[in-house]
Amino acid sequence: MKIEVKNVYKKFKSEEVLKDIDITFEKGKVYGLFGRNGSGKSVLQKLIAGIYVPTSGSILYDGVDITKEKIYPLCVRVLIEKPSFFPDLTGFENLKILAEIQNTIGPKEIDRALEIVNLFDEKDKRYSKYSLGMKQKLGIAQAIMEDYDVLILDEPFNGIERESVKKIIDYLLEKKKEGKIIIVSSHIKDDLQKLADIFYEVDSGKVTKRNYEEL
């Protein structure tokens, strides 16, 4: 699996959010996107995921231009911005509804995802009773519960205690060994240090490859 972002620009009305972006993402690597809030990290991730369409340029999955072909990449799972679920359903029930869309996993896989994010003990609690950190964990669980090739996580560790962060990072590093492409954004560079192999700084619409020490 290879994703190529080629000469991508993105504008909203007259505001140019991303300018001439060229990045290649390859399997078996974790990519860290670092930048302040509002720098364009989430917009870039939405473009890669096929949620947004570039103003110009191309995004290719294994050579296929998903914009030109109007294809949504089904191999991608995402957590971008704040997760949203049905408030009167439990955490497990919310994941079960999402799992039924593709119908490739069952309760065992859902429970495993909840265990990975340390939310299994609260799986039968209503979402409306979840704390901020629990809501974030459920968002990560929905992204990882199915078999994916590409995982895109936007500020995934917001509100999550360090013990659970470590457990999630260990899981992501195992998935990297399996050949997944993992793209994680954060405005806190320490969150990326133990996770990412390759770092990009997003600033003023530009994306620049950096060493960790340069961030």
Give the model confidence (pLDDT) of 65-108 as tens digits.
998 888 889 999 999 988 889 999 999 999 999 999 999 999 99
Query: Where are the chain's structural domains?
Result: 1-72+184-215
CATH code of the domain made up of 1-72+184-215: 3.40.50.300
Q: What is the pTM of this model?
A: 0.96
Per-residue model confidence (pLDDT) at position 80: 94
Alpha-carbon span 215 to 94, nearest angstrom:
37
- Quote the CA–CA distance of 43 and 54 in Å, as a whole number: 10
Residue 102's pLDDT is: 92
Compute and round to an integer the Cα radius of gyration of the chain. Answer: 17
- Please state, in angstroms and as integers, the Cα–Cα distance from residue 186 to each residue in 40, 53, 148, 215, following that order: 11, 22, 22, 12
CA distances from residue 125 to 13, 88, 94, 131 in whole angstroms, order as listed = 42, 9, 11, 11
Q: What's the first-to-final CA gap in the chain, in angstroms?
A: 28
pLDDT of residue 38: 87
pLDDT digits (tens, 9 = 90+) for 18-71: 999 999 999 999 999 999 988 999 999 999 999 999 999 999 999 999 988 888
129 pLDDT band (50/70/90 cuts)? very high
Q: 70: which residues sit within 8 A by CB, 6+ positions away?
A: none
